[in-house]
Amino acid sequence: MKPFENRASRDIMVPVMDMERTSIAIEAWRTVDEIKASPLWHEYAASRDALFGPGGPRDEIDGFVAAKATYEATFAIGKHHPDFKRDAAAFAAAKTALFTTPEHRRHAAALAALNAVLDGIAADIREILDSCLVGTKTHCEKR
């Protein structure tokens, strides 16, 4: 079975294998290595480097970080602060400026694609771990 296949979507039971802790750790690292060797990971890493690297939208990132810090300080005082609307508008403008750059859009798309695959892998792992539970997953007062 390929590591990126979603077993749950094929409606099959995942066999539970008895493994020692060492073999479980080795299998976990093999899975990590397969993920990092995948094209999705390489696209994510390239998009991250393009966004945060020297050729990325440094001015937009710096403007976003500064506007966010100012907004959070004002928001901590409350919405009735006299500068709240101004700082909120400045933060929204900085956010829009950053989020509309091609580098950020590429990074967001690559991150979403990678997370979709990782969610499937996490669900498969959760299914295996849930099959090892002794009790039920509901609280005593629930049926």
Write down the pLDDT at residue 9. 47
Write down the pLDDT at residue 142. 52
Write down the pLDDT at residue 143. 47
Average pLDDT, the chain: 85
For residue 98, what are the contacts with CB-CB under 8 A and spacing of at least 6? 57, 60, 61, 63, 64, 104
Average the pLDDT over 82-90 and give the result: 96
| Distance between CA atoms of residues 121 and 53, nearest Å | 29
Average the pLDDT over 14-31 and give the result: 72
Model confidence band, residue 71 (pLDDT cutoffs 50, 70, 90): very high
DSSP state of 8: G
Name the residue with higher pLDDT: 5 or 116: 116
Model confidence band, residue 15 (pLDDT cutoffs 50, 70, 90): low
| Distance between CA atoms of residues 69 and 27, nearest Å | 42
Q: How far apart are the first and last CA of the chain?
A: 36
Average the pLDDT over 46-52 and give the result: 96
Model confidence band, residue 24 (pLDDT cutoffs 50, 70, 90): confident
Write down the pLDDT at residue 67. 97
